[in-house]
Amino acid sequence: MEKPGSHLVETYVSGTCDQPHQGPIGSEDDGMEGNSPVTDHRERKRPLAGADARDVGEEAQNMLEHFGEALMAKRRKLESIPDTCVENTNQKSGHVLKTQGQWQQLIQEYLQQCLILAQQLQMDLKETEEEEAKLENIFQHQQKFIKQARSLLNYVQQIIEKLYQQSQKDQQEKGHQSKTVFLP
């Protein structure tokens, strides 16, 4: 849908007027010195009065100035859109990078804690193996001691049994001797 007067604005902005244009509309350089022809509804040319031509020129000039101002405002707005978009994108990417940085920091801390835990577990395992080796060594010494103690006990038991048997034998012999001594 075309706005009223947009054809005039487009031809002025694009520079495609049918007649060459040397200056702003309504200026003294455009050849309208008060007697320029204007077409009426019956397509006849009639001259304008000088004041009417200036009024039309001033009105056109005002329209063009307002259009220029509106165009400049839209241009500034359109120019600010990419800046705003870039600013928003930078803020979002900054937030994402900050979040990623926080995640990376958390991951780094987690990995550091895992590494410390793994090192601690390795040290604990090494200490446990050393303690196990010490306990194994103590257990072997105790087994040797028990074995020696058994051997000693067996030896002492054998000696006691031999002494007991010897004393039994000695008593029997004394008992035979005392019987024989007391027997007439």
Domain boundaries, given as residue ranges, for the chain: 6-117
Q: Is pLDDT above 50 for 23?
A: no
Query: What was the pLDDT predicted at 87?
Result: 86
In three-state secondary structure terms, 34 is: coil
Query: Cβ distance 47 to 83 under 8 Å?
Result: no
- Phi first, then psi: give them for residue 38, nearest 5 degrees: -125, 140
Structure-token match 């410390």, residue found:
116
Query: What was the pLDDT predicted at 27?
Result: 43
Q: Is pLDDT above 50 for 104?
A: yes
Nearest to 64 by CA among 99, 17, 130, 115: 17
Label residue 89 by pLDDT band (50, 70, 90). Answer: confident
Of 94 and 180, the one with more pLDDT: 94
Of 13 and 68, the one with more pLDDT: 68
Query: What was the pLDDT predicted at 131?
Result: 95
Nearest to 24 by CA among 70, 64, 71, 54: 64
| Strand (E) or helix (H) holding 115 | helix 50-182
Of 153 and 51, the one with more pLDDT: 153
Q: pLDDT > 70: what percent of the chain?
A: 67
In this predicted model, what pLDDT tens digit does every residue of 109-136 receive, in sequence order? 999 999 999 999 999 999 999 999 999 9
Q: Is pLDDT above 50 for 29?
A: no
